């Protein structure tokens, strides 16, 4: 790069903010000033010390958006300066995403690590749509509920994955005596499908565990009250 024919030396003043401000008339326009008592950098602009935002190596506060570029990541050294670091990385997003951290103190759970939860973990109970054929989407929830308005069939669910388990609460409507047949992938003790409670508004609970993509082990807890 060519060297300019005329150059102005960069001047840096150093001192406490009070001393720098008291000497403002002795400072040149554009002069860089470092306030030793604040660990901040100022530039003389229009005869006034104007703070220049930067993040010091000893820490600081970012008041705006901090964007890490396509090749960047967050890396933590840890308590020991060695060859091992922890990096936070993301999968390339296909849309704007937001991850919200809770207002709580704790440890982040990992999919590949054994977990010992010290507080209750809860899943929502998703209401199934009543109809001649009822199909649960196992990607939506683990627990479901439905009120039968007629004789129905609980079809094989969609998106079943081995290891998922949960409950389906089945309620008779005000008429009662509704029956429930089951898809071929529902497996019961002895190979016999259970019979629902028949009283109006009675509640049964179908407890299940997915064995494979084609087999669901289930049992019916009857006549809950």
Give the model confidence (pLDDT) of 78-98 as tens digits: 999 999 999 988 888 999 999
Return the bridge partners of 79, or none: none
Give a yes or no: residue 78 inside a domain: no
Domain-embedded: residue 27: yes
Q: How far apart are CA 33 and CA 11, in angstroms?
A: 8
Range of the domain at 186: 126-224
Q: Are strands 32-35 and 12-15 parallel, antiparallel or unpaired?
A: parallel
- The pLDDT value recorded for residue 89 is 86
Report CA torsion sign: 44, 45, 49, 53: negative
Residue-wise pLDDT tens digits, 16-49: 999 999 999 999 888 999 999 988 899 999 999 9
What is the number of domains present in the chain? 2
CA angle 197-203-209, nearest 5°? Answer: 95
CA–CA separation, 28 and 201 (whole Å): 86
DSSP-assigned beta bridge partners for residue 166: 208
Task: Answer yes or no: is 44 within a domain.
Answer: yes
For 163-168, what is the mean pLDDT?
A: 98
Q: In this structure, are 131 and 220 located in the same domain?
A: yes
CB 152 within 8 A of CB 178: yes
Return mean pLDDT, the chain.
92
Please state, in angstroms and rounded to a whole number, the distance separating the CA atoms of residues 158 and 197: 26
What confidence score (pLDDT) does residue 225 get?
85
């Amino acid at each position: 790069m060519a060297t300019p024919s005329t150059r102005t030396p960069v001047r840096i003043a150093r001192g406490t903010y009070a001393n720098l401000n008291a000497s403002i008339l002795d400072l040149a326009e554009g002069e860089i000033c470092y306030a030793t008592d604040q660990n901040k950098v100022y530039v003389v602009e229009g005869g006034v010390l104007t703070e220049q935002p930067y993040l010091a190596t000893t820490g600081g506060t970012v008041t705006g958006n901090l964007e890490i570029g396509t090749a960047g990541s967050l890396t933590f050294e840890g308590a020991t300066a060695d060859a091992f670091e922890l990096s936070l990385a993301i999968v390339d997003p296909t849309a704007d995403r937001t991850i919200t951290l809770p207002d709580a103190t704790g440890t982040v759970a990992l999919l590949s690590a054994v977990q010992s939860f010290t507080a209750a973990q809860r899943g929502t109970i998703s209401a199934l749509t009543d109809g001649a054929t009822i199909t649960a989407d196992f990607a939506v929830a683990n627990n479901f509920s439905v009120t039968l308005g007629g004789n129905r069939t609980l079809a094989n669910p969609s998106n079943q994955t081995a290891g998922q388990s949960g409950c389906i609460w089945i309620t008779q409507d005000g008429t009662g005596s509704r029956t429930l047949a089951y898809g071929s992938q529902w497996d019961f003790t002895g190979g016999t499908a259970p019979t629902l409670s028949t009283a109006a508004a009675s509640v049964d609970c179908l407890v299940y565990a997915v064995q494979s993509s084609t087999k669901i082990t289930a049992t019916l807890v009857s006549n809950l009250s």
